[in-house]
């Protein structure tokens, strides 16, 4: 019987909590009525919601990984190794860097420069997004993913090269840029979901480039400072 580290129960708990709380937040958030300038493109234009979906996929895969790694009858060792690789070294780093970018950008602007992060919100409305929903989609995803990576004892340095990570981040950045241009027609009075993107070229492209570059820096920092602990190894079939 080979010896392999198994996902701990703390990882399963965190991922299940993520599915419940973040899923609830996404459901509630997508029911909020958008201003006219954002209504046609809908909730699918927000990077927050895209990141939340990435978190939910990651959490579902990692919760499933807990049981896959413990199976002794159905799955081969090769399948288990592949599944673990994709859950911990593909889905997790993608979701983690996206969900780190979101609060780092969102909360300073939300607290001190709301006009740069929210479109057409009247001054007399203090919380256009209920606080519970705001936290569920703009903070808790980061907490759950970060905790699963660093505090469960199951995290490790991501098995992805810097070159591939850079390519992945670039594809995500360019993809989001093209997605917005696909959804939004400025000539019809529509607007970008975040006012800081509503600037003229070349400043808009420079903003996208800056955010993409910062996302790459976040990945580099996670690789520079990987988790220090591991769970005890257990014998599995």
Tell me: the pLDDT tens digits for 24-44?
999 999 999 999 999 999 999
What is the percent of the chain with per-residue pLDDT over 90, rounded to a whole number? 89
pLDDT computed for residue 81 by the predictor: 95
* Count of domains observed in the chain: 1
pLDDT above 70 (res 204): yes
For range 84-90, the mean pLDDT: 97
Q: Are 101 and 48 in contact (CB under 8 A)?
A: no
Q: What is the pLDDT of residue 3?
A: 39
Can you tell me the mean pLDDT for 122-136? 91
Binning pLDDT at 50, 70 and 90, where does residue 229 land?
low
- Residue 32 zone, left/alpha/beta (φ > 0; ψ -120 to 50; rest): beta
pTM: 0.93
Q: Which residue range(s) make up the domain with 187? A: 3-235
pLDDT greater than 50 at residue 2: no
Q: What integer pLDDT is reported at residue 121 of this predicted model?
A: 85
What is the rounded average pLDDT for all residues in the chain? 93
């Amino acid at each position: 019987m080979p010896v392999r580290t198994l996902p701990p129960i703390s990882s399963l708990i965190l991922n299940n909590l993520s599915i419940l709380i973040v899923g609830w937040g996404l459901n509630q958030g997508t029911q909020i009525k958008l201003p006219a300038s954002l209504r046609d493109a809908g909730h699918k234009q927000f990077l927050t919601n895209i990141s939340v979906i990435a978190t939910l996929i990651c959490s579902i895969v990692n919760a499933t990984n807990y049981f896959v790694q413990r199976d002794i009858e159905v799955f081969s060792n090769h399948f288990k190794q592949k599944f673990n690789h994709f859950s911990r070294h593909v889905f997790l780093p993608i979701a983690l860097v996206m969900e780190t970018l979101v609060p780092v950008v969102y909360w300073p602007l939300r607290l001190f420069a709301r006009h740069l992060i929210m479109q057409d919100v009247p001054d007399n409305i203090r919380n256009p997004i209920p606080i519970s929903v705001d936290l569920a989609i703009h903070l808790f995803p980061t907490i759950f993913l970060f905790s699963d990576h660093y505090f469960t004892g199951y995290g490790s340095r991501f098995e992805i090269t810097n070159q591939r990570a850079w390519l992945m981040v670039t594809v995500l950045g360019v993809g989001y840029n093209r997605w917005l241009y696909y959804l939004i027609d400025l000539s019809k009075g529509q607007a970008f979901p975040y006012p800081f993107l509503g600037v003229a070229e070349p400043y808009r492209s420079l903003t996208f480039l800056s955010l993409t570059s910062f996302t790459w820096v976040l990945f580099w920092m996670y690789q520079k400072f990987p988790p220090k602990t591991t769970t005890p190894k257990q014998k599995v079939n």
